[in-house]
Amino acid sequence: MIRVACPNTADLNPDEGWRIARRLLEWIRVKCRHYWLLHGISGFGAAYRGTLFTRQGHQITQQNLAMYGPNVIVNPLTREIWETLEIEMEQGSEPPIEDALYCDALLSIVAGNPTKALLEAGVAVEVALTRLLVDVATSSPSTSGKKRFLRDQADRNSFAKKLTQWTRTLNLDPIHGFTAPNAPPDWLTNVKDLYQMRNGVAHGGARGSADYLEVVRHMFAANALLEYVRVQRLQQGLKTYTMPAGTTPAEQIRLCHNAHLSASSNVLSGMLVPKS
């Protein structure tokens, strides 16, 4: 439960209170990768849910049951991450669109739509990389490489050149040598494949299909690129959101699985009292 409080001298109508609560949840979603926030209801992603009732004499018990299929497991919200939310809320900052798109991709996995997940992840990595390069190129001091990037609009449309050529021209860290938590060794190759799949759906009208293992590889590859972008933004002094020392959004994702998980509540028992 989220409670919004204000001084007695201030007026806060329900719409304003909800906007504050919603922005807070948006930031938790991005920083913690809690992709279901604001998008899923209780029991979202369950293959089925049910309730088991048993009765013996005057005693009756109740237990709720659920079975979950494809899922993405993430770390919980910690006190340290929670305390950083104050900075973004006070500044009125909006969560980066690329991180929100990536959370949408994770949500699509649980919703059973892997092709949509890959499409959303492909858009997320392109937006993240393009925003980084543009912000670096427009920052001071100006260099010949920055001027060339801003001038060569045609080359800027090539995702492959953005990954390798333009990151090098703008003096960013070599992307080939970058490692991220839980990222596969060939994550950069997977990111390129992810973007080609995105192009096939967005521009070629390809329907596309992907098995679960393929989706998982590309999700962690996209996660690595988002972490690369975040590290470069920090090193370049560009605007990005805060995280506790030694903590990154990339580490929030623990695993993706395609097994079936069962869950059940504690048994609630009571006595039936006959009417006198």
Instruction: Summarize pLDDT for 44-53 with one digit per residue, the tens.
Output: 666 677 888 8
What is the structure's pLDDT at 83?
96
What is the structure's pLDDT at 276?
63
Kindly report the average pLDDT of the chain as a whole number. 88
Q: Please state which of the ranges 55-64, 74-83, 233-242 shows the lowest mean pLDDT.
A: 55-64
* Stronger pLDDT, 220 or 274, i.e. the higher one: 220
Mean pLDDT, residues 167-173: 95
* Stronger pLDDT, 10 or 171, i.e. the higher one: 171
* Stronger pLDDT, 213 or 205, i.e. the higher one: 213
Which residue type does 91 have? Q
* Stronger pLDDT, 157 or 28, i.e. the higher one: 28
Say which residue the tokens 């492959």 belong to.
160
What is the structure's pLDDT at 17?
86
pLDDT exceeds 70 at position 42: no
pLDDT exceeds 80 at position 79: yes
Find out whether 239 and 213 touch, Cβ atoms under 8 Å: no
Q: pLDDT for 120-155, tens place per residue?
A: 999 999 999 999 999 999 999 999 999 999 988 766
Say which residue the tokens 């604001």 belong to.
38
What is the structure's pLDDT at 271?
82
Where exactly are the structural domains of the chain? 14-271
